[in-house]
């Protein structure tokens, strides 16, 4: 089995009428993400993390796992060109409950940023709070890196992400079906979520568009992508945007179009702009919405693993 680096998580439209280019995300005074020193090893019961875990520390007993934070790690898929790097979040009790699989949400960062953006705005801390408090069933998160957005490799991110999904399902204990797989993004990341979510509706049960900035070249096709999704195959859809966001006009046009064709969705216009401070204020609400989409299935018995497989 390949070696990965495990790190403890202790840190805390678009164009419907006129062309619109995806742009950079505004800089905000959000606390810089701190990813602690790694604990090396494959994901296994012997690598259970704790808030004070360092090499040689005692391993916490299984009954304590429900109150511990999840595990944050970094890995990469080397078969793509370039290698697709990503950060992953494993929920509390992932290592102890070896026969359990978990829902997963892929969260894409904005332009000029990296895979650490969602960590920095508080997604890991929010997931820990929701799971340990019982506000949400345990779930996984994957933060793919798109640092090549302004380089030659940039256009290949969509293909790399689609290649990453089966790798995640094979490597980690996910519930590898559409109903338990979600996709969301911030700004330009929401542009990717719209493109991939609407053109691969069979892969994602929920799509979250947070302050979306849709790619200019996608504008002429957006309505067609949405209209071709059969009513019974439509992913759950969330769209939010700040009342001072420069994308507000196009976001409003999208929600009007969705209402016109009878596509159920949530649209929220909050107070705020296109910044990390805005997203940090709502990140827990985002995660709770994704988790609600898994609730019905999560209340059923979890599939047990058959033989050797994901770690």
- Which pLDDT score is estimated for 302? 47
Distance of CA 144 to the CA centre of its chain: 8
Peptide bond into 82 cis (omega under 30): yes
Residue 168 near residue 102, CB atoms below 8 Å: no
SS3 content of the chain, % helix, strand, coil (to 5): 35, 20, 45
**Residue 178 Ramachandran class (φ > 0 left, ψ -120 to 50 alpha, else beta):** alpha
Can you list the alpha helix ranges (DSSP code H) found in 206-247? 222-227
> 């071709």: which residue's tokens?
228
CA separation for the pair 292, 186 (Å, rounded): 20
**Do the beta carbons of residue 201 and residue 234 sit within 8 Å?**
yes
List the domains of the chain with CATH numbers.
5-21+33-298 (3.40.50.1820)
Task: Give the separation between CA 247 and CA 295, rounded to whole angstroms.
Answer: 32
Contact 311, 2 (CB under 8 A): no
**What pLDDT shows up at residue 274?**
93
Burial of 182: CB neighbours in 10 Å, binned 0-12, 13-18, 19+: buried
pLDDT of residue 55: 36
pLDDT at 177: 96
pTM attached to this predicted model? 0.80
Burial of 23 (0-12, 13-18, 19+ CB in 10 A): middle
pLDDT in 10s for each residue of the chain, 311 residues: 233 334 333 333 333 333 334 444 444 445 444 544 333 333 432 233 333 323 334 444 445 899 999 999 999 999 998 999 999 999 999 999 999 999 999 999 999 899 999 999 999 999 999 999 999 999 999 999 998 877 766 669 999 999 999 999 999 999 999 999 999 999 999 999 999 999 999 999 999 999 998 887 888 888 899 999 998 899 999 999 999 988 887 778 888 888 888 999 999 999 999 999 999 999 999 999 999 999 755 544 444 544 334 66
């Amino acid at each position: 089995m390949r070696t990965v680096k495990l790190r403890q998580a202790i840190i805390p439209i678009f164009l419907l009428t006129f062309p619109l280019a995806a742009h950079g995300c505004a800089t905000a005074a959000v606390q810089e993400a701190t990813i602690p020193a790694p604990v090396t090893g494959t994901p296994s019961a012997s690598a259970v993390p704790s808030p004070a875990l360092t090499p040689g520390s005692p391993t916490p007993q299984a009954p304590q796992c429900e109150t511990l934070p999840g595990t944050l790690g970094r890995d990469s898929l080397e078969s793509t060109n370039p290698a697709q790097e990503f950060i992953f979040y494993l929920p509390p009790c992932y290592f102890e409950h070896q026969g359990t699989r978990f829902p997963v949400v892929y969260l894409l960062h904005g332009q000029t940023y990296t895979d650490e953006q969602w960590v920095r705005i508080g997604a890991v801390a929010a997931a820990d709070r929701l799971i340990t408090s019982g506000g949400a069933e345990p779930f996984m998160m994957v933060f793919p890196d798109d640092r090549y957005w302004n380089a030659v490799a940039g256009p290949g991110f969509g293909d790399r992400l689609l290649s990453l999904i089966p790798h995640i399902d094979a490597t980690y204990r996910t519930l590898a079906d559409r109903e338990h797989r979600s996709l969301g993004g911030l700004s330009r990341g929401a542009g990717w979520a719209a493109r991939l979510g609407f053109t691969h509706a069979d892969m994602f049960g929920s799509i979250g568009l947070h302050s979306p900035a849709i790619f200019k070249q996608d504008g002429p096709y957006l309505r067609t992508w949405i209209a071709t999704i059969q009513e019974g195959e439509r992913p759950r859809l969330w769209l939010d945007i700040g009342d001072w966001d420069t994308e507000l006009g196009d976001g409003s046009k999208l929600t009007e179009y969705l209402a016109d064709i009878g596509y159920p969705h949530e649209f929220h216009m909050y107070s705020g702009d296109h910044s990390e401070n805005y997203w940090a204020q709502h990140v827990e609400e985002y995660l709770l919405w994704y988790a609600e989409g898994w609730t019905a299935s999560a209340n059923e018995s979890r599939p047990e693993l058959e033989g050797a497989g994901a770690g």
